Amino acid sequence: MSLPFQRALITGASAGIGEEFVHQLSRAGIPCVLVARRGDRLEQLAQKYSTCEVLVADLLTAEGIARVAQRLASPTLPVDLLVNNAGFGSSGTFLNVPVENSIGQIDLNVRAVVELSHAAAQAFLERKRGYLLNVSSVASFQSGPGMAVYSATKAFVTSFSEALHEELRKSPVRVSALCPGFVRTEFQEVAQTGAEIDAIPKFLWLNIATVVSEALAGMAKGKALIVPGTQYKSMLMWVRLIPRVVMRRVSAKIVGI
């Protein structure tokens, strides 16, 4: 697959989907700027590819966001693809999750995405080319009892990305939202999911390499929404047809609420 990107910046690049973006883009000969707060992991990953640049930044801080925004705006080795991948979630009912944790999810999953999208879109418009991919989730298409704040933040990301896609449709900037289903990454460990994850049927788990390859292909085609996996594409049709009250009750039942 021929990719139109010249240089990518990936947040949350130290593990999971972000790391897989680094592997696939680097193998395609596209230089990457790796962003995460764990510098040791980024350095280990960068050693595998001569074209990688490491940028240590904590996107839960204003300083970290500013550092990445500055790199996006830099005319030196300009970036034309931003993958807003950094994010996290927590498992548990809203009142059983520390409110600081919930606020952290909003700051990383929403605030950082908005600020970096703004920085990237401005830079891309000035250069008259660019691609912005915001990593969301199929959880964005319905409420998520047991992960209420996470699902709500991803609903924001999907809606925001679709709106931005339309606003920039007549420009040389392309905006997409990636909405994967279940993928085995460190996300489950951070979210402290246990029996709920063990109960997920095998057919709902997606291969991480397939998720990223579909994302890259979808971006290259200028798709607004990228939903990997035929099972999830089909599932979204049912979500649109089934009354929301039914979907809420089913979602709550799955997680034992």
pLDDT in tens, 195-209: 556 667 676 889 999
pTM higher than 0.75, yes or no? yes
Return the residue matching tokens 């949350």: 12
Catalytic residues: 150
In-domain check, residue 119: yes
What's the rounded Cα separation, in Å, for the pair 39 and 165? 32
In-domain check, residue 2: no
Q: Please name which of 83, 79, 72, 81 lies closest in space to residue 17, comparing C-alpha atoms.
A: 83
Q: Any residues with CB less than 8 A from the CB of 65 and at least 6 apart, and which?
A: 57, 59, 111, 112, 115, 116
The number of folded domains in the chain is 1
In-domain check, residue 23: yes
In-domain check, residue 60: yes
In-domain check, residue 189: yes
Q: Please name which of 125, 217, 218 lies closest in space to residue 176, comparing C-alpha atoms.
A: 218
Mean pLDDT confidence for 3-13: 97
pLDDT band at 187 (very low <50, low <70, confident <90, very high): low
What's the rounded Cα separation, in Å, for the pair 145 and 149? 9
> Per the structure block, which two tokens stand in for 120?
């990237």
In-domain check, residue 58: yes
In-domain check, residue 3: no
What's the rounded Cα separation, in Å, for the pair 135 and 58? 18
- pLDDT for residue 255: 63
At 136, the amino acid letter reads S
pLDDT in tens, 119-167: 999 999 999 999 999 999 999 998 888 999 999 999 999 999 999 999 9
- pLDDT for residue 237: 78
Which run of H or E residues covers position 162?
helix 148-167
Listed in sequence order, the DSSP H helices in 47-147 are: 62-73, 99-106, 112-127
Q: In the chain, what's the furthest Cα-to-Cα distance?
A: 52
Q: What is the CATH number of the domain that holds 15?
A: 3.40.50.720
Mean pLDDT confidence for 218-244: 86
> Per the structure block, which two tokens stand in for 58?
């904590």
pLDDT in tens, 73-102: 999 999 999 999 999 999 899 999 999 999
The domain containing residue 152 runs over which residues? 8-254
Judge whether 139 and 150 are in contact, CB under 8 Å.
yes
pLDDT in tens, 23-72: 999 999 999 999 999 999 999 999 999 999 999 999 999 999 999 999 99
> Per the structure block, which two tokens stand in for 215?
């994302």
In-domain check, residue 1: no
